[in-house]
Amino acid sequence: MQRFDQLTSRPKFIAAGLAVLVALWLLSGILGKESDQAATQTATPTTAGTMSVQFQSQVAQPVTRNLSVYGRTTPVRQVELKAETSGRVSELGVRRGALARSGELLLKLDLRDRQARLDQARAGLNQQQAAYEGQLELKPQGYVSETQLAETLAKLEAARAELTRAELDLEYMHIRAPFNGMVQERTVEIGDYVRAGDPVATFVDNTQLIVTGSIAEQDAGFLRVGTLATAHLVTGEVVSGKIRYIAPVADEATRTFTVELELPNPAGKLPAGVTTEMRIPAGVVLAYLVSPSLLTLDAEGELGIKTVAADGKVVFNRISIAQSGSNGIWVSGLPDQADIIVVGQGYVSAGQSVKAIPATAQDATAAGQTAILRP
């Protein structure tokens, strides 16, 4: 039935999909056993030549309309970590697939060369610091000019900058977790030599998952950021979440709007990268619970249900799918009260005068077309 919702949003595929779905519905046995008299329970001409159909009178009920949107789960954050300096991998920290806290060591490059540079920079700074302090003591006696003192100060500042660079370069040898998350992939091993800019690991934050899908332009007005919705993962999990983003502009090619659903995943047990159906409530509508076998297409390929008007003429009512389930589909677009044709709807057309006969549930079942399913 979820596939049925998708077909109704794509008019080009309705005709083929409807035939297949109705056939599967009837064969599944959900509608009950067919009677041996099924072949005879169709519209029949009366003595005057007017077709005879059977109908059931029903009153619409308020139902929450659900939009069905398909997407894929992704981590809320995912980054590719790259080496910021060159060196040989000497140590691996958190293993692949394990959780890591922000700042925790993921891998380390060989420090010996960088440590030597740091020691040299510290020695240079100490030397320049001593020279500057010595000249400050001699300046009052006139042994050091202002120019000499300024030159020594400049050398001292350069030595400080060199020390800072050496300290940063040493820190770059440690690649750490940028936030709380998990090592999804590591592309280096101990002994590998990396250069600045080489990717070394993929790190993800999957404490929340994002489901991204596309919503039809006619449905975009029903969505609001913060709306509660449910996600049905193909792996079987059902999780509640909130709409966190709706694109302000439709895609020019598809005329659809991107929508994102945020799902809590504190333990990291929900999988990322899997197909997911978002079921988003889109307001309350008046609807009927019917069997898909009652749905027909008009000349323009629009989906609808045929009813009998007070003057005895057939009316084709274009409908929308409000909800779907194992026991039928909720459809909107009909009058608040309607006489729905349940036997013979495939043999009459809109505007045609018919003889309408009230149908019993037994009559409808005998024709293999259970009509109004009771909620």
Q: What is the DSSP string of 55-122?
A: EEEEE-EEEEEEEEEEEEEEEEEEEEEE-SS-EEEEEE-SPTT-EE-TT-EEEEE--HHHHHHHHHHH
Claim to verify: residue 72 and residue 86 sit in the same structural domain:
no
Claim to verify: residue 264 and residue 343 sit in the same structural domain:
no
Claim to verify: residue 94 and residue 168 sit in the same structural domain:
yes
CATH number of the structural domain spanning residue 278: 2.40.30.170
Q: For residue 112, what pLDDT is reported?
A: 80
Residue 275 corresponds to which tokens in the numbers above? 């197909």
Residue 373 lies in a domain: no
| Separation CA 286–CA 373 (nearest Å) | 15
Q: For residue 36, what pLDDT is reported?
A: 35
| Separation CA 329–CA 316 (nearest Å) | 18
Specify which residues 339 forms β-bridges with.
57
Residue 64 corresponds to which tokens in the numbers above? 């929450």
Residue 230 lies in a domain: yes
Claim to verify: residue 153 and residue 19 sit in the same structural domain:
no
Last residue of a domain, one of 143, 178, 196: 196
Claim to verify: residue 208 and residue 73 sit in the same structural domain:
yes
Residue 313 lies in a domain: yes
| Separation CA 214–CA 241 (nearest Å) | 17
> What is the chain's pLDDT, residue by residue, as a tens digit (375 residues)?
444 444 344 444 444 444 444 444 433 433 333 333 333 345 555 545 688 999 989 899 998 888 889 999 999 999 999 998 888 999 998 888 888 999 999 999 987 877 778 788 888 888 888 888 888 877 777 787 888 888 888 988 888 888 888 888 778 888 999 999 999 999 999 999 999 999 999 999 999 999 999 998 878 888 899 999 999 999 999 999 999 999 999 999 999 999 999 999 988 889 999 999 999 988 888 888 888 889 988 888 888 999 999 999 999 999 888 887 777 888 888 999 999 999 988 889 999 999 999 987 666 554 444 444 444
What pTM did the predictor assign?
0.58
Residue 346 lies in a domain: yes
Question: Residue 368: phi, psi to the nearest 5?
Answer: 75, 20
Amino acid identity of residue 318, one-letter, is R
Claim to verify: residue 131 and residue 155 sit in the same structural domain:
yes
Claim to verify: residue 73 and residue 218 sit in the same structural domain:
yes
Last residue of a domain, one of 163, 196, 229: 196
Q: For residue 39, what pLDDT is reported?
A: 33
Nearest one of 226, 210, 222, 201 to 270, comparing CA atoms:
210
Residue 260 corresponds to which tokens in the numbers above? 């994102």
Claim to verify: residue 299 and residue 354 sit in the same structural domain:
yes
Residue 374 lies in a domain: no
Question: Residue 311: phi, psi to the nearest 5?
Answer: -85, 5
| Separation CA 277–CA 262 (nearest Å) | 13
Residue 371 lies in a domain: no
| Separation CA 324–CA 9 (nearest Å) | 14
CATH number of the structural domain spanning residue 31: 2.40.420.20
Q: CB within 8 A of 89, min separation 6: which ones?
A: 107, 108, 109, 110, 188, 189, 190, 191, 192, 193, 194
Domain extent, residue 127, equals 80-196
Claim to verify: residue 211 and residue 192 sit in the same structural domain:
no
Buried b (16+ CB within 10 A) or exposed e, 208-225: bbbbbbbbeeebbeebee
Claim to verify: residue 84 and residue 73 sit in the same structural domain:
no
Which class for 4: exposed (0-12), middle (13-18), buried (19 or more C-beta within 10 A)? buried
Count of the separate structural domains present in the chain: 3
Claim to verify: residue 49 and residue 13 sit in the same structural domain:
yes
Residue 131 lies in a domain: yes
| Separation CA 44–CA 49 (nearest Å) | 9
Claim to verify: residue 133 and residue 215 sit in the same structural domain:
no
Last residue of a domain, one of 249, 282, 315: 282
DSSP labels, 162-179: HHHHHHHHHHTTEEE-SS
Q: Are 278 and 69 in contact (CB under 8 A)?
A: yes
Residue 95 lies in a domain: yes
